[in-house]
């Protein structure tokens, strides 16, 4: 189809990474969790882990992603271990400016109590 513009697009896994980085651009963490719930049967944590390695974030977004996958009902616990293998030396926050957050010891992550 000559003459049509080329449009770069990403896949579901990359989109799930991007919405964790800036949840406020996606309607907030409640909406991000809904997106993870809808996508859980279409993605793999291993593919997300590979993308995270390529991107090379300084921040430990793998903690937030693993938490959200688990919270969404993602069932492959062995693949969740892949995300944990990145290490979790720091506590991390799922969103900015949370008041009275809950804490996941497993993911070393603060998250909105109503999530």
Euclidean distance between CA atoms 101 and 67, whole angstroms: 14
pLDDT the model gives residue 1: 56
pLDDT the model gives residue 5: 80
Looking at the chain, the whole-number percentage of residues with pLDDT higher than 70 is 99
- At 75-88, the pLDDT tens digits run 999 999 999 999 99
Euclidean distance between CA atoms 25 and 50, whole angstroms: 24
| Contact yes or no for 82/45 (Cβ under 8 A) | yes
Domain locations in the chain as residue ranges: 12-88
Q: Give the chain's mean pLDDT.
A: 94
pLDDT the model gives residue 106: 97
Higher pLDDT, 9 or 41: 41
pLDDT the model gives residue 4: 80
Hey, is 40 helix, strand or coil? coil
């Amino acid at each position: 189809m000559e003459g049509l513009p080329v449009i770069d697009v990403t896949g579901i896994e990359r989109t799930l990474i991007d919405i964790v980085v800036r949840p406020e651009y996606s309607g907030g963490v409640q909406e991000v969790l809904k997106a993870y719930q809808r996508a859980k049967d279409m993605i793999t944590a291993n593919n997300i882990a590979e993308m995270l390695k390529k991107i090379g974030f300084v921040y430990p977004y793998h903690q937030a992603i693993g938490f959200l996958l688990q919270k969404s009902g993602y069932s492959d616990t062995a693949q969740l271990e892949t995300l944990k293998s990145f290490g979790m030396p720091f506590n991390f926050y799922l969103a900015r400016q949370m008041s009275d957050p809950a804490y996941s010891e497993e993911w070393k992550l603060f998250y909105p109590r109503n999530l």
